[in-house]
Amino acid sequence: MALAGLHVIELAEGIAGPYAAKLLADLGAEVIKIELPPDGDVARQYGPFPDHRPHPEQSGAFLYLNTNKQSFLLDLEAPEGQHLLRTLVAHADLLIEDRPPGWLAARQLDYATLQQRHPALVMVSLTRFGQEGPQAHFHGTPLTTAHAGGEAFTLPGRLSLDLFPEREPVQPGGMVSEYDSGLGAAVAALGALLSGHGQHIDVSQQEVLMNLNRPVMTHYFAQGDVVDRQRGYAYGGTIPCKDGYVLLRPIEDNHWQALARAMGRPELIEDARFRTRQARTEHGAVLNSLIIEWAMQQDKVELYERIASTGCPVGYFATAADVVHSPQLAAREFFIPSPHLDLSQVRLPSAPYRLSRTPWTLRRPAPRLGEHTRTILASLQRLAQ
Amino acid sequence: MAHTWLQGIRVLDFSWAAAGPYATLLLGFMGAEVLKVESRQRPDLSRRGFYSPAPLDASPEFHDLNVNKRSVGLNLSHPQGIELVQRLVPHCDVVVENFRPGVMQRLGLGYETLQALNPRIIMAAAAANGSTGPESAYPGYAGVFNALSGLGHLTGYADGPPTELRISMDLRVGMTLAFAVLTALYARRQTGVGQYVDLSAREAICCLIGHSFLHYTMNSEAPQRQGNDNASYAPHGCYRCIGQDAWVSIAAPTEAAWQALCQAMEHPEWQMDRRFRDVASRVEHRQALDALITAWTQQRTADAVTERLQQVGVAAYPTMNSATLAASEHLQARGAFLSVAHPLLGPQTVLAPFWRSSRSVQQAERSSPLLGEHTREVLRDLLNMTEQDMARLARDGVIECAEMPSASTGDADARKDRT
């Protein structure tokens, strides 16, 4: 396994921190997840739940975010618990934590304390606004963090703005900003581990998110221009069809020619209004109305398959059902059965990278609350001897 | 390079546009040496500018995504260009590419070939659908895999159309690619050999909204977009403030936060309002609640709302745009912005990498490269090539050097093969 031998302690809950640790666990790292009594990780309450019946061992979010980890239920309000965690960390390579600045110091679990006993420790602190700065202490939630990162201001875009001109900007969906943050923390963690030097890494979720729109920031620095929701494609873009929407990008002339043929309108190729990219841009509204008239007669997946094979870039706006049923994802075995005892029929996303020599594996399901407490305590006792 | 974490690691970078370049930008910030293979016939898209057109050697957008990298001008449609790549591979640790599947093999640079030249080579390929499967030959752009992944459907108003996320989609894939490369580098320490990494952009985004699919695999239900709403609690939304297109986001997940919000907004009577008596009621009556909150926020600036609510422990933050982010005292204090001088553009503000380290061993950033700026020094230093050899190769259009412009050869087919 790619990260065999990497020992990670995770003190985090929700989505961002646990996702960072999951990425490492799924590639072979040994990850011990600290859960605080009485109820452990708050994601155990997020759901979805089978038949909508809440159960802390059956939360879909928790099951996905905590594959391949062990759970250690540990009371960090008690000096004994703090001492045990210090010992555990002293024998680990990496600590990932998401506590508010000051929380760890109050329990003698801050980097200054931990690194004295274990100078080679890499500690990654992932917080919404970072460890330092005038707003480091700010309260935040996934919503306010997504808005703090800059992308929300540019969403949803001109198509929605034309329909609803006075409405508010929206966060990116699916809690993606939390996942983005976790991925950023995992990237920084691996880099620091490869350095061979212990250090404290401070990752701000706001900065991870701001970085995802680097070109937007550069455009402002270079031109003084702010990208907002007014943006839209001159032609193509989001196109309604019979059962939903497709995304069409007939950017180049050869894309447009392929699309015109797929539409059964080869004569449009020579139409002066559409022959060049410049012309298509000028006559975008007319072009789109022609495309929409045609598209409204077909289902999105049908449209996608008809157009994509011609070389014109196209996608369909997929629901969860569409994604789970996608032949492409089925061919890549992207969704896999969970090894969970009671929920073996529930499939989980796997990973987007295929490593030829050290593949991704699902060795164990997300743990029950405190499932590994006893074995971990036993091994800590052995370490003390 | 900002850090020295990957000192001694050399990356041969064939990627272009935003996804691959963001991955290699991150590796470069970690101290890896990144050799960017380029040619004037098919320049990196960002050299032309994403938002406004730019000269090839003076694009701020290219500069931001390509600081610390070196540019090696090689013509991949010339057999000698391919041979030069093959001679460089033994000197490299990582190869990164985001061509359409099959292109590198057709060029004679597939993994089997590279592995034979250097068993330690890690080859990382990013494509819209990955390298296998019935749709793997289809072209992909950010908009395409935003739609196919399900993220576009989940973003937008509940009563509106789905949403196109754009350049951020590419950088999400780039961040995923960087993670996969770092994983392979870590694994190589144990195994002593490299491997092939096949990344699907579409699947990368699916993983970043992973638990949303559990609604379907558990209960056969597909989640719908819901704007800024949260099904579990209210207030939770984005509210208009004083100013042009000015907004603030507010979320009060607990009873304590709700009470603090009512006090801070000087409407203690909301706590007595039957419509808002508990979290379920507040969710049910959120439209009325949001209207009341808007009446308060729209008389204040986003910063004033944020400050007032943060004072009483309520999560609030302005909806930031590129201007307000650039002006943020918090981000400036954190060192989130760097100045990296460009030979033609002068000093440019560039985003710092998103991590800070307690270890202060750092070096100043290098500028992004002019096209072909480092061709001669790389060929000389790594392949012991002489000036005469390089002059001949430049004349024949095999290599391009910034100060020795080559004959204009190019192959339109090679350009079509780009994703």
ipTM of the complex in this document: 0.97
Closest CA to A47 of B211, B342, B43, B380: B211
CB spacing of B217 vs A335 below 8 angstroms: yes
Cβ-count burial B359-391 (b if 16+ within 10 Å, e if not): eeeeeebebbbbbbbbbbebbeebeebeeeebe
- Strand extents, DSSP E, chain A: 7-11, 30-35, 69-73, 94-97, 122-127, 199-204, 237-241, 244-248, 314-316, 335-337, 347-349, 353-355
Q: Which of B146, B186, B330 sits opposite A194 (nearest CB)?
A: B186
Query: Would you call B196 helix, strand, or coil by DSSP?
Result: strand
Instruction: Decide: B54 and B25 in contact? Cβ < 8 Å.
Output: no
Kindly report the number of other CB atoms within 10 A of residue A5's CB atom.
12
- The per-residue pLDDT for B403 is 64
CA-derived radius of gyration, chain B: 26
Cβ-count burial A169-203 (b if 16+ within 10 Å, e if not): bbbbbbbbbbbbbbbbbbbbbbbbbbbebbbbbbb
How many contacts does A have with B, using Cβ atoms within 8 A?
503
Residue B418 DSSP symbol: B
Distance CA A272, CA A40 (A): 65
Q: Which of A156, A214, A347 sits opposite B64 (nearest CB)?
A: A214
Mutate to test the interface with B, among A41, A154, A176 (most CBs of B within 10 A): A176
Half-sphere exposure (CA, 13 Å, Cβ side) for A152?
34
Half-sphere exposure (CA, 13 Å, Cβ side) for A143?
25
Cα–Cα–Cα angle for B345, B351, B357, rounded to 5 degrees: 135
CB spacing of A351 vs B130 below 8 angstroms: no
DSSP per position, B101-131: TTHHHHTT--HHHHHHH-TT-EEEEEETT-S
DSSP per position, A280-345: HHHTHHHHHHHHHHHHTTS-HHHHHHHHHTTT--EEE---HHHHHT-HHHHHTT-EEE---SS-TT
CB of A328 less than 8 A from some CB of B = yes
Chain-wide mean pLDDT for chain B?
Answer: 94
Residue given tokens 């900065």 in the structure block: A207
CB of A310 less than 8 A from some CB of B = no
B152 to chain A nearest CA, in Å? Answer: 6
Kindly report the number of other CB atoms within 10 A of residue A261's CB atom.
15
B384 to chain A nearest CA, in Å? Answer: 30
Closest CA to A208 of A254, A148, A121, A283: A148
Q: Which residues of A touch B350 (CB under 8 A)?
A: 218
A50 to chain B nearest CA, in Å? Answer: 6
Q: What percent of chain B has pLDDT over 90?
A: 91
> Which residues of chain B, if any, have pLDDT below 70?
1-2, 361, 403-419
Question: What does each of the 385 residues of chain A score in pLDDT, given as a tens digit?
Answer: 999 999 999 999 999 999 999 999 999 999 999 999 999 999 999 999 999 999 999 999 999 999 999 999 999 999 999 999 999 999 999 999 999 999 999 999 999 999 999 999 999 999 999 999 999 999 999 999 999 999 999 999 889 999 999 999 999 999 999 999 999 999 999 999 999 999 999 999 999 999 999 999 999 999 999 999 988 888 999 999 999 999 999 999 999 999 999 999 999 999 999 999 999 999 999 999 999 999 999 999 999 999 998 989 999 999 999 999 999 999 999 999 987 777 877 899 999 999 999 999 899 999 999 999 999 999 998 887 6
Summarised one tens digit per residue, pLDDT across range B311-341 is 999 999 999 999 999 999 999 999 999 999 9
A244 to chain B nearest CA, in Å? Answer: 9
CB spacing of B236 vs A143 below 8 angstroms: yes
Distance CA B394, CA B400 (A): 6
- In this prediction the pTM is 0.96
Find, in chain B, the residue whose alpha carbon is nearest to that of A182. B208
Q: Which of B141, B148, B164 sits opposite A157 (nearest CB)?
A: B164
CB of B215 less than 8 A from some CB of A = yes
Instruction: Decide: A194 and A2 in contact? Cβ < 8 Å.
Output: no
Q: Which residues of A, range 255-294, sit inside 8 Å of B by Cβ?
A: none
A76 to chain B nearest CA, in Å? Answer: 23
CB spacing of A323 vs B4 below 8 angstroms: no
Taken in order B218, B219, B221, B224, the sign of the CA dihedral is negative
CB of B320 less than 8 A from some CB of A = yes
Q: Which of B165, B201, B348 sits opposite A172 (nearest CB)?
A: B165
Taken in order A90, A93, A97, A101, the sign of the CA dihedral is positive
Q: Which of B147, B206, B211 sits opposite A315 (nearest CB)?
A: B147
- The per-residue pLDDT for A17 is 98
Summarised one tens digit per residue, pLDDT across range B134-175 is 999 998 889 999 999 999 999 999 999 999 999 999 999 999
CB spacing of A173 vs B6 below 8 angstroms: no
Distance CA B154, CA A175 (A): 9
Strand order in the sheet with B247-251: B236-240, B247-251, B315-318
Instruction: Decide: A86 and A117 in contact? Cβ < 8 Å.
Output: yes
Distance CA A190, CA B349 (A): 27
Distance CA A100, CA B230 (A): 23
Output the CA torsion A46→A49→A52→A56 (10° steps): -70
Kindly report the backbone phi and psi dihedral angles of residue B216, in degrees, each rounded to the nearest multiple of 5, phi listed first: -85, -45
Q: Do β-strands B70-74 and B399-400 pair in parallel, antiparallel, or remain unpaired?
A: antiparallel
Instruction: Decide: B75 and B393 in contact? Cβ < 8 Å.
Output: no
Q: Which residues of A touch B166 (CB under 8 A)?
A: 231
CB spacing of A183 vs B175 below 8 angstroms: yes
Closest CA to A127 of A208, A61, A199: A208
Q: Which residues of B, range 16-45, sit inside 8 Å of A by Cβ?
A: 18, 22, 26, 30
Residue given tokens 């569409």 in the structure block: A322
Find, in chain B, the residue whose alpha carbon is nearest to that of A194. B5
Residue given tokens 């195994």 in the structure block: B191
Q: Do β-strands B10-13 and B33-38 pair in parallel, antiparallel, or remain unpaired?
A: parallel
A122 to chain B nearest CA, in Å? Answer: 10
Q: Which residues of A, range 89-118, sit inside 8 Å of B by Cβ?
A: 111
What Cα–Cα distance (Å) separates residue A104 from each residue in A11, A35, A91, B299, B321? 10, 15, 18, 39, 33
Q: Which of B5, B50, B251 sits opposite A195 (nearest CB)?
A: B5
- The per-residue pLDDT for B414 is 39
**What residues form DSSP beta bridges with A199?**
A122
Q: Which residues of B, range 132-161, sit inside 8 Å of A by Cβ?
A: 132-136, 138-141, 143-157, 160-161
